[in-house]
Amino acid sequence: MTFEIIVMWVALTFYAAATAMYMFGVTFSKDALTKWALWASAAGLAFQVTSLGIRWARLGHGPYLGFYEVANALVFCVAAFFVIAAARNPRLNAAGVAVMPVAVLLLGGSMLASKSGLPITAKLASYWLFVHVAFANLAFGAFALSFGCAIVYVVRVRSATGKWAKRFEKLPAQDVLENLTVRFVLVGFLFWAMMITTGAIWANEAWGRYWGWDPIETWSLIVWLIYAIYLHVRFALKWRGERLAWFAIVAMLLALFALVGIPLAFNTPHAGIGGYGKDL
């Protein structure tokens, strides 16, 4: 096992410890434990950045080739977005009980995949591919935060009184949580649009066409339309409350499926980014 992989295992350990501390801290109303959980999340992020930096220097390209790298990049954005948001607004810290498990499951899955480096081919050595992947990671990070806020919103709706209401009482009020969910969705929606646009430019550069309706392109468009519908029902139809929160929860799971599930399930040119395609 190389030093690079050992460091990544340390990052996963910190993320797992943070998840456990969030669960115990929220369940038993231990504010000190949730504060330590944020520090553990930050430590995990630091180790992950170190490991990815070593790999980048060794292979000469960023984390976007192979399932191991793709999942790692998504986790990095999820953790970075959350740590920054919780550090700036400590009242959001308890939302880590929903956000950090996403990071643990994704990173844990990546550690079971092949960690061998994939070579940069002529089609992959493109500025547009780098930008395309960067916007995909940023979009998912924003969607993950909307997911965390929406999960907490639903739990509080279902526990308006009693012990769970008390455990979440230090979080922002429900209307603030809802507005944060919408804002994170809007940011992710714009990043996702840029992901699709830059991806089309890269596709034309790599394959001579902007759009080919392969599974990843199709699902990316579906996810973007779903979030467009979310914003429409929120601002035009004035949806609010629990049904809007559930919309954000389901939409994020579909975004995760589009980014991770589709490359594993289908052998498309795009799936080469997940390590399976043969036309890159």
pLDDT at position 163 is 65
Q: How far is it, in rounded angstroms, from Cα 15 to Cα 42?
A: 9
DSSP 112: T
Mean pLDDT, to the nearest integer, of 228-237?
96
Tell whether the model's pLDDT for residue 49 goes beyond 60. yes
Q: How far is it, in rounded angstroms, from Cα 102 to Cα 148?
A: 9
Closest CA to 250 of 146, 128, 127: 146
Contact in structure between 73 and 63 (CB atoms under 8 Å):
yes
- Residue 154 CB contacts under 8 Å (≥ 6 apart), including other chains: 242, 245, 246, 249
Mean pLDDT, to the nearest integer, of 64-88?
91
- Which tokens hold the place of 31? 């504010």
pLDDT band at 182 (very low <50, low <70, confident <90, very high): very high
DSSP 94: G
Summary mean pLDDT of the chain: 88
Mean pLDDT, to the nearest integer, of 94-111?
92
Tell whether the model's pLDDT for residue 150 goes beyond 90. yes
Tell whether the model's pLDDT for residue 121 goes beyond 70. yes
Domain extents for the chain?
A: 1-112, 128-273
More confidently predicted of 216 and 188: 188
pLDDT in tens, 54-73: 999 998 888 888 888 989 99
Contact in structure between 247 and 230 (CB atoms under 8 Å):
yes
This prediction's pTM: 0.89
Q: How far is it, in rounded angstroms, from Cα 43 to Cα 103?
A: 14
Contact in structure between 130 and 62 (CB atoms under 8 Å):
yes
Q: How many residues does the chain have?
A: 280
Least trusted range by pLDDT, from 51-55, 215-219, 220-224: 215-219
Contact in structure between 113 and 193 (CB atoms under 8 Å):
no
